[in-house]
Amino acid sequence: MKSFQNLILLQNLYRLKALGFQYSDPFSVNEKNSHENPKSIEELAKNISTCHLCDLSKSRSQSMSGYGDINADVMIIDYSVSSIEDETNGYYAGRSGETLTKMIENVLKFKVEDVYFTHAIKCKPLHSNVPSLSEWDSCKSYLYSQIEFVKPKVIITLGEDSYAKVTGEYDNFKSVRGHVIDFKKYKLVPIDHPQFLLRNPELKKMAFNDLKTIKSCL
């Protein structure tokens, strides 16, 4: 039966071809190509800045590839670009950015220029919506390439969403928050997002202890 169905389909295709229709091989818009396999982090940043793999490229002011020391011992990964970051092209913008700066400078004892800060989703979500799975699929190769270029001693993920996307673990953030996790060949420590800490100031002491754990890994 299957061979007969294939024969009917083939006959219809030849009939359409005789009427002037043309065909091309199937392709995927997210298919890996040389654009996704840069030879340096600078080339990667250029690829990110000109990326149009998803609809976020239509609503962003710019894509944000990353900021800081490309040879940093600490790499910080936020989930997605906020509206104020998109407007100002600033990686430590707003109250959340001020809080993160204090965490880096006052506890970890680094300047913000000495760590590498990036986002899992490189563009501002449309209308501040939660990024879709397809948008993450378009961005994830960029993020994993950044990790391989920077080769940090410790990766810090900010908040539950960042941890889930980076690791693929969606159900255990509360149980692993503040713990050192083996991720690929790196040490990863999930912590609460600074915005969450601003809404829950009673958790700042716990965040301070998480940062001390990170410092002990350096």
Give the CATH number for residue 168: 3.40.470.10
Q: Which pTM value belongs to this model?
A: 0.80
- Give the residue numbers spanning the domain of 49: 38-216
**Residue 200 located in a structural domain:** yes
Taking Cα atoms as reference points, which of 147, 190, 193, 200 lies closest to residue 170? 190
d(CA 113, CA 68): 5
Cβ-contact 44, 85 below 8 angstroms: no
**Residue 118 located in a structural domain:** yes
**Residue 133 located in a structural domain:** yes
**Residue 158 located in a structural domain:** yes
**Residue 106 located in a structural domain:** yes
Beta strands 181-183; 186-191: pairing state: antiparallel
**Residue 188 located in a structural domain:** yes
**Residue 62 located in a structural domain:** yes
**Residue 13 located in a structural domain:** no
Cβ-contact 188, 164 below 8 angstroms: no
* pLDDT tens, N- to C-terminus, the chain (218 residues): 455 565 666 667 667 777 777 766 554 444 444 455 789 999 999 999 888 888 887 777 778 899 999 999 999 999 988 888 888 888 899 999 999 999 999 999 999 999 999 999 998 887 666 777 888 888 999 999 999 999 999 999 999 999 999 999 988 899 999 999 999 999 999 999 999 999 999 999 999 999 999 999 99
Domain count, the chain: 1
